[in-house]
Amino acid sequence: MTQFSVKIRNLALLLVLSMNICEATILINEIHANPIEDESLNEWIELYNNESQSVNVSGWFIGDELENDTLEGGLFLGRGTIIPPQGFAIITDDSTRVYNNFDVEINAIKLYVNDGAIGNGLKNSGETIKLFSTNKELIHNITYDETIKGLSHARFNTSFSPANATPGLPNDGSKIETPSTGCDWYLEILMNKTLFEPTDEFEWQLRAKKQYGNKTITSATASIRDLTGNYVKSYTPWTNHTTTSRKSSSKYSPSLQKGKSYVLTAQVTTECEDQEPASNRLERIFTLLDTPLANTSSIAIEQIYDLGSDEVASFGQTIRAKVNVYKGDTSKEVVALWIEDENHRITKQSKVYLPDKFTNYEITLPIQIKPNCNLEYESDTYVLKAQGLSAETTFTIEVAGIEDSICPKESIAQQQPDLLVNIAEYPSEVKSTDTIETKIYLENNDNRHHNLMMWTYLFKGSNTFSGERKENLQEVFIEKRGTKEKIFKNKITNIPSGEYNFMLRYTVDGSEKEKRVLRTIKVIGEIEETTLIASSQEREDLILTTSNTQSENIPITGNFITVYESTTFKTKQLGVYFFAALITLYAILLTWKR
């Protein structure tokens, strides 16, 4: 071999040695060989780059005493096979559930083997794991002892010890000196900040994680209180859930009052013997900032109570007003409410004192409307005014009519009614076959429209002599401050001479209460009043007597007239005939049997 060839060989060996030194910076850092469940899906090995330069591990091998597997990358949204300086990589099989069941650091490189298990499957009883470069040169190997379910074996300097799993993170603080036969769970409140601007969306989530131990049943509760201790929200994120290594709640976005601070308290309970119960409960204080408060005060009348379905108040009535007030930077303290029009104030002032600046108030104040017994004020549209703190607002309201219990009866008698209904023209004397024609006058002194149902009829005692009582029923509409005349007609039959009652009845705006106007009309006819059968009972007695008489031609003296027979009376009459027929049929049957 020439001297030049020797130099080339030595240079090549030096290059190879340099590559091996670079490759040797990758260390097996943690092994999780004994997951709580689904071992083949949840086993993993962590690699660590201990140098200041990146290393590409594509085509490297990882294996145990029986089988080696090739390392690949990019399957689980990873970033290839290059491990950055002081970076971590996680090795799993190609159908892993590790990223669902473990909190893997987001920056860890995700490697996998093109096989259903790492090597021949990581043994729980302990074995040796080896890492090879592409040319199958041994880079690093470690031997771990018998495992504890749910715990890893992690590298601490040059030795491996049981530890809590920290995939993708340093092993500092994870070592377990004396593993317990119990468990250790702890809580995390996931909240990206504790001071939220007015435009920020407040959101939080709860997560329980296992330090070590077997799977167990967990339950979680949470609540939000303000700083005065009042509970504003409560939650049950999950109950009696079988948990392997961690459990996360849904994300919550409660609607809370801004401009306040709150305390979020959460707790998890387990069915295993937890060795650190203090870590099962957490509190987090957070603040929701509000838009900076204005210096200018404002008043808004939100609602008026006690008006009834017609939305109209009466003179003498007490109503209530709901008012929202914001007091800004002012030393004034009084807000007053009253009702007025251009010429009169029809209530006294109702006042409230509001001491605190930069504060929202919601108040409800009573307002007593004057009785108006002397008719000093008209039924009209008035203005409810709220004023104070250098701010004011108005609200229109109708006031009409007077509370009867307020004014003396003699005073009420002298008042002009809001709605006047009267019989303006009617015949005081008619013939027994005439049609009675009357003119009804309506005068609306109210400041609102009215709708009336009206009818007229002629009667004496319990009998009506102009058809059904509501035979000429009419619906009459009258505008506010308006007048109207309506004609009503009633056809009467041939009735005896005498004094009869003529009735006008009406209801207003759908009310069930009927109002009446009564007049007397004299009827002139050929039939004497003494021949009138005045009651339906006498008529029934006569029919019954006639039905029980054997002779069909019984002379009946006197003149009889047809009184209006109601549907009820006709039904009773048919009932009498039917009963008489049954009696007669029964008598015939008895005679025939004999």
* β-strands 216-226, 109-113 pairing: unpaired
Each residue's pLDDT, cut to its tens digit, for the chain (594 residues) gives 444 444 434 444 443 333 333 444 899 999 999 888 777 788 999 999 998 899 999 899 999 888 899 998 876 555 689 999 999 999 998 888 888 888 888 889 999 888 788 888 899 888 999 999 999 999 999 998 888 888 899 998 888 888 888 999 998 877 876 555 678 899 999 998 999 999 999 999 999 988 878 788 999 999 999 999 999 999 999 999 998 888 999 999 999 999 899 999 999 999 988 888 889 999 999 999 988 878 999 999 999 999 877 788 888 899 999 999 999 999 999 999 999 988 889 999 999 999 999 899 999 999 999 988 777 887 788 999 999 999 999 999 988 877 766 776 544 444 456 788 989 899 989 988 889 999 999 999 888 899 999 999 998 877 888 888 899 999 999 998 899 999 999 998 878 888 888 999 999 998 888 888 888 899 987 665 444 444 444 444 433 333 333 333 333 333 334 444 444 445 555 666 677 777 777 777 776 665
Q: In 10 A of CB 552, how many CB atoms?
A: 6
CATH number at residue 440: 2.60.40.10
Of the residues 288, 313, 333, the one at which a domain ends: 288
Note whether 389 and 424 are same-domain residues: no
In-domain check, residue 411: no
Can you read off the two tokens belonging to residue 363? 């108040």
User: What pLDDT, on a 0 to 100 scale, did the predictor assign at position 476?
Assistant: 95
Note whether 11 and 99 are same-domain residues: yes
In-domain check, residue 15: yes
Cα–Cα distance measured from residue 8 to residue 377, given in angstroms and rounded to the nearest whole number: 121
Note whether 109 and 148 are same-domain residues: yes
CATH number at residue 274: 2.60.40.2550
Cα–Cα distance measured from residue 145 to residue 123, given in angstroms and rounded to the nearest whole number: 10
CATH number at residue 135: 2.60.40.1260
User: What pLDDT, on a 0 to 100 scale, did the predictor assign at position 344?
Assistant: 85
Q: In 10 A of CB 574, how many CB atoms?
A: 10
User: What pLDDT, on a 0 to 100 scale, did the predictor assign at position 555?
Assistant: 35
- The count of structural domains within the chain is 5
Cα–Cα distance measured from residue 288 to residue 201, given in angstroms and rounded to the nearest whole number: 10
Note whether 302 and 379 are same-domain residues: yes
In-domain check, residue 476: yes
User: What pLDDT, on a 0 to 100 scale, did the predictor assign at position 543?
Assistant: 38
In-domain check, residue 177: no
Of the residues 163, 197, 231, the one at which a domain ends: 163
* β-strands 312-315, 435-444 pairing: unpaired
Note whether 317 and 280 are same-domain residues: no
From the number of C-beta atoms within 10 Å of its C-beta (0-12, 13-18, 19+), residue 440 rates as buried
Note whether 272 and 313 are same-domain residues: no
Q: 3-class SS at 349? A: coil
In-domain check, residue 57: yes
In-domain check, residue 587: yes
Of the residues 241, 265, 288, the one at which a domain ends: 288
User: What pLDDT, on a 0 to 100 scale, did the predictor assign at position 79?
Assistant: 66
Note whether 119 and 25 are same-domain residues: yes
Placement of tokens 């076959």 in the chain: 433
Parent domain of 442: 419-530
Residues with Cβ within 8 Å of 141's Cβ and at least 6 positions away in sequence, in order, are 28, 128, 129, 130, 131
Note whether 72 and 141 are same-domain residues: yes
In-domain check, residue 189: yes
Note whether 146 and 52 are same-domain residues: yes
Distance of CA 559 to the CA centre of its chain: 75
pTM over 0.85: no
Query: Could you tell me which of 223, 240, 241 has the C-alpha nearest to residue 232?
Result: 223
Note whether 362 and 392 are same-domain residues: yes
User: What pLDDT, on a 0 to 100 scale, did the predictor assign at position 526?
Assistant: 67
Q: Which of 377-396 are b and which e, b meaning 16 or more Cβ less than 10 Å from the residue's Cβ?
A: bebeebebbbbbbebebebe
Widest CA span in the chain: 169
In-domain check, residue 178: no
User: What pLDDT, on a 0 to 100 scale, did the predictor assign at position 178?
Assistant: 57
Cα–Cα distance measured from residue 431 to residue 458, given in angstroms and rounded to the nearest whole number: 13
Q: Which alpha helices (DSSP H) does 296-448 contain, by range? A: 409-413
Note whether 321 and 342 are same-domain residues: yes
Rg of the Cα atoms in the chain = 50
Q: 3-class SS at 449? A: coil
Note whether 197 and 264 are same-domain residues: yes
